[in-house]
Structure 1
Amino acid sequence: MRGVEEVEVVVAHSERVTLRVGDVFLKVDGDPARLAAEVAAMRLAPVPTPDVLWHRPPVLAIAAVPGRALGILGEPSPASPAAWAAAGAAIRRLHDAPPPPWDGGKLAGLDAELERECAWLVDNGVLPAGLVDRNRTIAEAAFRPWTPVFMHGDLQITHVFTDGDEVTGVIDWSEAAPGDPLFDLAILTLGHEERLEDLLAGYGTDVDRDVIRAWWSLRSLTASRWLIEHGFDPSLPGCEFDVLRSRM
């Protein structure tokens, strides 16, 4: 990293900070178990992941992956339909692999969390009650039996990188665990509903699209308070509030 003139703050909030120094990303996390799980998940995942340069809790150093992200929330994705299909095929490989050997608590207790967060959104005047109630009804379709798979757990559009029509890297594995495959598909297409069919062209169309739509509503309802309290804005164009409004 000799000759690097600046340090870029990629993400910073009370739980973790990610810095970029040249071609190296430094992740500082207050939860050592979360970093350890991220390293283990990258070693197990059958898809391209960043190279781990070193891991000295509470810091993890990883190499930048080539290519560029599929897009960002709130803006049209510049990636081709073939790149989205390649992302779908990579996710299918992940979901077909044996799940990681640790418990997945990310999706536990979501029914109670949904009730709590919906009440907070309405009681604090963040969103109209009718909008919240409509999306809550849609979200309940996500509560159904499912077979656990190797779930990435935080498969945002900025976490999948492609070069041309090939996937070059999937990053940020701190939430990886056994979980619902349709959660991953929903998070990747959140705010990019028009790309769902491109994604499924590579993943396979044997999925319940209504459940994916349910996860869009559920994720947007339950994440909004955390985003607001950690300095993010779910009301920006194309972000969580627009996702909720589109269900109307």
Structure 2
Amino acid sequence: MDEVEVVVAHSERATLRVGDVFLKVDADQARIDVEVEAMALVPVPTPEVLWRKPPVLALAALPGTTLGRLGGPATGSPAAWAAAGAAIRTLHDAPLPARTGQAGRSVAAVTAELDAECAALVASGVLPADLVARNRRVAEAALRPWTPAFTHGDLQIAHLFVDDEEVTGIIDWSEAGRGDALHDLATFTLGHEECLADLLVGYGTDVDLDVIRGWWSLRSLLVVRWLAEHGFDPFAPGCEVDVLRSRM
């Protein structure tokens, strides 16, 4: 019998691996609905849906490996990063879906959440006030009008797989929808700033690097408390707090 591996687990959802099958358990069926619908629409490789029986979605494992992990070294070659950039560009050029995704919230809504979170970080003593203030200023660059694209919405480096410098699939589409393309690029390179240039070679278009840096700060500020409260460590080397410190 195959061993059961807990890939990720917290109060909202859990993902288990049994052999070549991933089992996603999510009490919120709307998230699973979005994921299945997005995978059917996108012009990039995604896992095969094996079966679905709420609250469980079974997906086939993808071949290949990720390009690294947050808090660890980037492991992919420049060509592999360029291939990832090309796949992300293909996604962003796809016809727009009807749904607005995580990367598509209004500037006003994101600004309000960011300001509230910055205040909470300082009031609780989780982060120093000067670190929060500096990154809040950097984050301002991301708070601007943007042209909608088909976005993944949570394109962490662990969500894209490459085999022999070819993208074999992208996973975890529950936040997909219309959104800011640079949100995806920034999320993918969070903690791996040195790989951004290789990614953009494949992406194939000029981007505003200040906006990318703004999203690095913004995303990190928004998730520090949530991660700490759900059993993750944003203070680990190379993770979100180090990303914030790098802006100082």
Q: TM-score range by the shorter chain?
A: over 0.9
Pick which of 223-232 and 211-220 moved more.
223-232
Residue aligning to 1:16: 13
Q: Deviations over 1:181-238 (max 9, x none)?
A: 0000000000000000000000024110100000000000001111111111100000
Q: How does 1:47-196 map to 2 (within 5 A)?
A: 47-104=44-101, 107-108=105-106, 109-196=109-196
Distance (Å, rounded) in 1 between the aligned partners of 2:141 and 2:98: 28
Structure 2 stretches of 5 or more lacking a match?
A: none
1:105 shift after superposition: 5.3
Query: Between Structure 1 and Structure 2, how many residues are aligned?
Result: 245
Distance (Å, rounded) in 2 between the aligned partners of 1:21 and 1:151: 29
Distance (Å, rounded) in 2 between the aligned partners of 1:164 and 1:105: 31
Letter matched to residue 182 of structure 2: L
1:30 shift after superposition: 1.1
Identity of aligned residues (%): 71
Q: Deviations over 1:5-59 (max 9, x none)?
A: x211111001101000110000011110110110010111111100000112211
TM-score, structure 1 as length reference: 0.97
Pick which of 122-131 and 236-245 moved more.
122-131
Q: Deviations over 1:51-105 (max 9, x none)?
A: 0001122110000000001111011111000000000000000000012222335
1:126 shift after superposition: 1.0
CA RMSD of aligned residues (A): 0.9
Pick which of 108-117 and 37-46 moved more.
108-117
Change (3 A) 1:64 1:105: closer
Change (3 A) 1:103 1:62: same
Pick which of 94-103 and 167-176 moved more.
94-103
